[in-house]
């Protein structure tokens, strides 16, 4: 038996909480995927696959996505809404967190819809087999081409501003219609005026936001829509932000959004849906203490039911759109240690073969992560080091003052909670190819994203004839 002291002072402390069945643990409250385990060789396993062996096979950096954790999060959201809400409900995956064919196909297989914010994300969802009727198209500056694609595909377009409404109305007058027939289905997004404690860049609910109609303009908005025979308003949408640990703001949102729905109905619109957004946070470090998926869903559903009762309104279809809390904890990123720099009395740097190109969140949001030595899980954490990326930027630091066992060139490090906004925000900065991603379950592994090659970096480069050297 491993001693309690050893767990505290080693990478074992990162393992999922024990004492409950995996399906009853809320993934967003864990530091590692639900299947994380340490094998007899003291090596980290995810989905029954040894992390160090995966790096040997697929190289690094490597995104390792645990299918069981992703599916568990999907089912917890889906089942909690059915449990706490007597009306119809639909969970949507906010695919901006990680849009790729495999992730979209998995969440769709679990009965979820998809929230997309660009033509590229819409195309990905459709190619993954998601029903257009379960796709909601967001965005504060959709192009005419994107709006036409949304209309023709048959998805629901979330009107964010007058540009959206006027363009959609014009497309309708020009005869652009859905392949499934009928008028263009839309939802109206507005800013609810509710602030929450999170990073300024990911707040969206306050009045001073680039997203959504000003709530004071809703009368004009609903009047305009009521006069457009080509537009069919299914409901209203509001979102207050991301990586939120508070429940009260979601409670407050219920009255605001039900009021907006009531106003839409007063203009004769067939509005029967409300979308309360997402925003539930996840655990990146031991200090993070987010509510469970169950607690979040219970709060939202109870608040909406109460708000509808106060308005004497039949329960609308209730939608939510989590992203980070579905996929964030399901992935770890594996790196290989390269160079080391010791500055006596100041700092020790361990450089890895990735950094800001595969995880831009630390340099962008000052986000905090934890790290562990995937091949030395029970070895005491005796070293304090800074994990540096390989890019030509002094700010390319993944983790400052990380606690690790003694590590050196060739050791494999694993950074948890990298499923959200890592691959989706990855870049080719310094002409570094983006990493591969694999899906693991029950000891089996599938490649879901191929590692880019140097030739891939040149695919869209064009060299003018006058600059070509003669052979």
Which residues are marked as active site?
392
Contact 205, 240 (CB under 8 A): yes
SS3 content of the chain, % helix, strand, coil (to 5): 35, 25, 45
Q: How far apart are CA 460 and CA 471, in angstroms?
A: 22
Q: H-type helices in 370-428, by residue range?
A: none
Angle at 233 between CA 228 and CA 234, to 5 degrees: 160
Half-sphere exposure of 104 (CA within 13 A, CB side): 25
Contact 261, 274 (CB under 8 A): yes
Question: What secondary structure letter does DSSP report for 211?
Answer: S
Q: Cα dist. 67→27, 105, 281, 406, 468 in Å? A: 12, 11, 20, 31, 48
Q: Any residues with CB less than 8 A from the CB of 337 and at least 6 apart, and which? A: 350, 351, 352, 407, 408, 409, 410, 411, 412, 413
CA neighbor of 212 nearest in space, from 118, 318, 138, 114: 138
- Which token pair is 132? 């257009």
Q: Is the separation of the CB atoms in 11 and 381 below 8 Å?
A: yes
For the purposes of burial, counting CB atoms within 10 Å of the CB of 314, is it exposed (0-12), middle (13-18) or buried (19 or more)? exposed
DSSP assignment of 211-270 equals SSB-GGGHHHHHHHHHT-TTEEEEEEE---BSSB--SHHHHHHHHHHHHHHHHHHHTT--
Q: Are 112 and 91 in contact (CB under 8 A)?
A: yes
Pull the structure tokens for residue 386: 């800074």
**């694999």: which residue's tokens?**
438
Beta-strand (E) ranges in 389-431? 397-404, 412-415
The CA-to-CA distance between both ends of the chain, in Å, stands at: 68
Question: From the centroid of its chain, how far is CA 138?
Answer: 15
- Cα(7)–Cα(197) distance, rounded to whole angstroms? 32
Phi, psi of 57 (to 5 degrees): -85, -40
Distance of alpha carbon 150 from alpha carbon 146, whole angstroms: 6
Provide the sign of the torsion angle of the four alpha carbons 16, 17, 22, 25, taken in this order. Answer: negative
């Amino acid at each position: 038996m491993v001693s309690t002291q050893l767990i505290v002072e080693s990478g074992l402390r990162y393992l999922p909480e024990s004492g409950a069945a995996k399906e009853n643990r809320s993934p967003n409250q864990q530091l590692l995927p639900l299947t994380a385990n340490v094998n007899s060789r003291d090596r980290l396993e995810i989905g029954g696959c040894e992390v160090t062996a995966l790096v040997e096979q697929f190289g690094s950096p490597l995104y390792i996505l645990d299918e069981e954790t992703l599916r568990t999060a999907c089912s917890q959201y889906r089942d909690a809404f059915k449990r706490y809400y007597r009306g119809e409900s639909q969970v949507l995956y906010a695919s901006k967190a990680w849009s790729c064919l495999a992730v979209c196909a998995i969440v769709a297989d679990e009965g979820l819809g998809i929230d997309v914010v660009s033509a590229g994300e819409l195309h990905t969802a459709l190619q993954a087999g998601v029903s257009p009727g379960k796709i909601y198209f967001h965005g504060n500056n959709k192009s005419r081409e994107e709006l036409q694609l949304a209309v023709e595909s048959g998805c629901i377009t979330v009107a964010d501003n007058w540009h959206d409404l006027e363009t959609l109305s014009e497309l309708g007058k020009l005869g652009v219609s859905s392949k499934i027939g009928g008028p263009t289905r839309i939802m109206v997004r507005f800013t609810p005026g509710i602030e929450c404690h999170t990073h300024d860049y990911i707040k969206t609910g306050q009045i001073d936001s680039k997203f959504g109609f000003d709530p004071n303009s809703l009368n004009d908005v609903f009047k305009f829509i009521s006069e457009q025979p080509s537009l069919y308003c299914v409901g209203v949408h509001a979102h207050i932000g991301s990586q939120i640990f508070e429940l009260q703001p979601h409670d407050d949102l219920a009255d605001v959004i039900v009021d907006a729905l009531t106003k839409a109905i007063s203009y004769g619109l067939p509005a029967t849906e409300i979308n309360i957004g997402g925003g539930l946070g996840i655990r990146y470090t031991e200090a993070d203490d987010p509510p469970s998926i169950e607690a979040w869903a219970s709060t939202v559903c109870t608040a909406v039911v109460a708000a509808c009762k106060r308005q004497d309104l039949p329960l609308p279809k209730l939608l939510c759109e989590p992203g980070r809390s579905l996929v964030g904890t399901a992935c770890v990123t594996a790196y290989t240690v390269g160079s080391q720099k010791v500055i006596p009395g100041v700092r020790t740097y361990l450089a890895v073969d990735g950094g800001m190109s595969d995880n831009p969140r630390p340099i962008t949001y000052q986000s905090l992560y934890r790290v562990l030595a995937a091949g030395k899980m029970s070895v005491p954490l005796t070293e304090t080091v800074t994990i540096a990326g390989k890019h030509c930027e002094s700010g390319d630091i993944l983790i400052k003052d990380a606690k690790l066992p003694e590590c050196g060139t060739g050791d494999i490090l694993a950074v948890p909670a990298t499923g959200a906004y890592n691959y989706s925000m990855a870049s080719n900065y310094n002409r570094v190819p983006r990493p591969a991603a694999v899906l693991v379950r029950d000891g089996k592994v599938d490649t879901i994203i191929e590692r880019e090659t140097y030739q891939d970096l040149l695919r869209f480069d064009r060299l003018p004839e006058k600059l070509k050297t003669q052979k």
